[in-house]
């Protein structure tokens, strides 16, 4: 059974194409990831599917409800954890949950049982009477997930659920999300720019870049799609070496990025000596050389021509420039 169906979905803002004619389906009970840098179109896609934004063109349905024609039905059947916090800090955890349950008109007896059950699920039942303003970032995210489950949604939208959390808290939260999906069969669609998050949680991953889906499959198949092994070389003369290595018949692909050269090839161990000899014969010093199996970072580089780290650095530069402009 299909939980989410998307066909040629597009969103434009004053001529800027934020989401560009994307299509995909998500099965019931599947954990589906939208992986990409900030500004790639992940949140805009989620906002359209959850009826908060109207598409410019295309169509989509969630739980068999059209996102334009059956908006109320879509909203009743989904839960959302927003990228930005939406809790009331001046209320307790229980009060936040109770207020949300009343909005969905859950009867008093039923909502009291559900609130306690869900707070136990996310290990916050002993902190239920504490004000949210006293909560850590991880505790707030867990409370938001619990709140999003109160009305028993069939689909849970998680927009950057672990953004800004420390690694330990992030791993803790992953366990909750994985448990919801595996044990309760809730369909989950999450956006992230953390490679390891997508790798751990998602049955399938769509890589979205500049509003387009450039690859979609399981994590393992995405890694297999770029083929063989990966050799990463650091050299001060990487452009010169790139010109020499790219013509070798056994090289499938070679990229220069982030201060290094990445080579995709089969049977990397057999070609290490050739690579070193090629560099030495042309007077090129190799500072370091490493071999590894493809990762999602390598997949992202393969399909977009740059790494996620480079994208994040570019976005930070843009943010700094924007702040400087505002100060002026």
pLDDT per residue as tens digits for the range 79-130: 998 888 889 999 999 999 999 999 989 999 899 999 999 999 888 999 999 9
CATH of domain 2-222: 3.40.50.300
Hey, is 256 helix, strand or coil? strand
Give the per-residue pLDDT at 326.
42
The domain made up of 227-293 has a fold known as Alpha-Beta Plaits (3.30.70)
62-79 confidence digits (pLDDT tens):
999 999 999 999 999 999
Task: Give the DSSP letter of residue 92.
Answer: B
Average pLDDT for residues 36-58, to the nearest whole number?
A: 94
Q: In angstroms, what CA-CA distances link 222 with 77, 183, 219, 227?
A: 31, 26, 5, 9
pLDDT band at residue 312, thresholds of 50, 70 and 90?
A: low
Spatial distance between the Cα atoms of 151 and 148, rounded to a whole number of angstroms: 7
The label of the residue with tokens 């720019």 reads: 193
Report the distance separating Cα 24 and Cα 206, nearest Å: 9
Is residue 320 predicted with pLDDT exceeding 60? no
Chain region(s) in the chain for CATH 3.40.50.300: 2-222
Whether the CB-CB separation of 78 and 50 falls below 8 Å is answered with yes
* Contact of 292 with 229, CB cutoff 8 Å: yes
**CA-closest candidate to residue 64, choices 110, 28, 118, 114:** 28
Residues of the chain with CATH 3.30.70.920: 227-293
Alpha helices in the chain (DSSP H): 42-49, 71-76, 93-103, 108-121, 137-148, 167-184, 195-201, 219-225, 238-245, 268-281, 296-304, 308-327
Across 239-246, average pLDDT:
92
Q: In this model, does residue 308 exceed pLDDT 70? A: no
- pLDDT score of 299 more than 80: yes
Q: Can you give the pTM of this predicted structure?
A: 0.81
Q: Would you place residue 58 in the very low, low, confident or very high pLDDT band (cuts 50, 70, 90)?
A: very high
Pick from 204, 230, 214, 200: nearest CA to 295: 230
């Amino acid at each position: 059974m299909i939980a989410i169906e998307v066909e040629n979905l597009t969103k434009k803002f004053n001529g800027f194409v934020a989401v560009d004619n994307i299509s995909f389906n998500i099965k019931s009970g599947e954990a589906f990831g939208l992986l990409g840098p900030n500004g790639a179109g992940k949140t805009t896609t989620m906002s359209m599917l959850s009826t908060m934004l109207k598409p410019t063109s295309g169509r989509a349905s969630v739980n068999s409800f059209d996102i334009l024609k059956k908006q109320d039905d879509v909203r009743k059947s989904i839960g959302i954890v927003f990228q930005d916090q939406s809790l009331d800090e001046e209320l307790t955890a229980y009060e936040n949950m109770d207020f949300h349950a009343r909005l969905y008109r859950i009867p008093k007896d039923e909502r009291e049982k559900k609130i306690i059950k869900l707070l136990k699920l996310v290990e916050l039942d002993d902190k239920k009477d504490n004000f949210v303003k006293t909560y850590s970032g991880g505790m707030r995210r867990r409370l938001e997930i619990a709140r999003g489950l109160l009305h028993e949604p069939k689909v849970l939208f998680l927009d950057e659920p672990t953004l800004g959390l420390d690694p330990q808290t992030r791993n803790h939260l992953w366990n909750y999300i994985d448990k919801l999906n595996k044990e309760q069969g809730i369909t989950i669609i999450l956006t992230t720019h953390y490679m390891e998050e997508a790798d751990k949680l998602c049955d399938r991953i769509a890589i979205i870049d500049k509003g387009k889906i450039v690859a979609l499959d399981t994590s393992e198949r995405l890694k297999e799609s770029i083929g063989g092994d990966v050799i990463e070389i650091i050299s001060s003369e990487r452009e010169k070496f790139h010109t020499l290595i790219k013509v070798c018949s056994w090289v499938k692909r070679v990229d220069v990025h982030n201060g290094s050269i990445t080579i995709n090839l089969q049977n990397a161990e057999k070609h290490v000596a050739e690579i070193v000899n090629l560099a030495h014969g042309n007077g090129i010093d190799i500072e370091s050389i490493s071999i590894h199996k493809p990762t999602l970072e390598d997949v992202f580089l393969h399909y977009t021509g740059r790494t996620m780290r480079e994208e994040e650095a570019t976005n930070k530069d843009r943010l700094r420039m924007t702040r400087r402009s505002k100060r002026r």
